[in-house]
């Protein structure tokens, strides 16, 4: 668990970060928590972020996927989308996360797909659908991120996805 695979970023996004001397694919990960939980980012753009997470190792005492694990996957994917929407001049900081758990998962991988509901100048909201390997919806989530101006000298919004200022996201 935790090894990162190559993420598919749109070429124009890679070029934007490369102009600042940042290797986006090498820089971005699911963060320490996401890595511990086995989150793998498969595709990333402001329009769609896809990631997977194993059920094994992320269960509650009844052997079902832990709702908090679904929340970690959802917040990770939505934060990546918001970060990419905000671009290099913004930090994406999660301010609201809502998760509805529809069914349990006991094994395999779950896949989350984040798509934008709203992408503005100061906030971005993403819907995240998490499904099991049979395509059945396990969780529906919605994440809203505040888009803050990056401090002078900052080259990316990636730090915001770790919640380094005390907020989630």
> What stretches of the chain adopt beta strand conformation (E)?
40-44, 49-54, 90-101, 109-119, 123-131, 137-149
Tell me if residue 23 falls in helix, strand or coil: coil
Tell me if residue 138 falls in helix, strand or coil: strand
How many whole angstroms separate alpha carbon 14 and alpha carbon 18? 6
Q: Which residues are catalytic?
A: 75
What 31-38 contacts at long range (C-beta under 8 Å, 24+ apart), as own/partner pairs, is: 31/76, 31/161, 31/162, 32/162, 33/72, 34/72, 34/73, 34/76, 35/1, 35/2, 35/4, 36/1, 36/2, 37/1, 37/69, 37/72, 37/73, 38/1, 38/2
SS (H, E, C) 140-154: EEEEEEEEEECCCCC
């Amino acid at each position: 668990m935790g090894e990162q695979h190559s993420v598919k970023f749109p070429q124009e996004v890679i070029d934007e970060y490369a102009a600042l001397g940042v290797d986006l694919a090498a820089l971005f990960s699911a963060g320490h928590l996401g890595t511990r939980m086995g989150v793998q980012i498969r595709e990333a753009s402001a329009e769609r972020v896809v990631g997977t997470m194993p059920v094994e190792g992320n269960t509650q005492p009844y052997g079902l996927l832990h709702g908090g694990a679904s929340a970690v996957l959802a917040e990770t994917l939505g934060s990546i989308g918001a970060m990419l929407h905000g671009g290099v001049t913004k930090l994406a900081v999660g301010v609201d996360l809502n998760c509805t758990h529809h069914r349990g998962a006991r094994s395999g991988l779950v896949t989350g797909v984040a798509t934008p509901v709203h992408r503005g100048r100061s906030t971005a909201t993403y819907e995240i659908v998490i499904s099991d390997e049979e395509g059945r919806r396990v969780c529906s989530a919605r994440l809203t991120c505040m888009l803050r101006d990056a401090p002078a000298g900052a080259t990316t919004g990636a730090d915001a996805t770790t919640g380094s200022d005390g907020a989630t996201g």
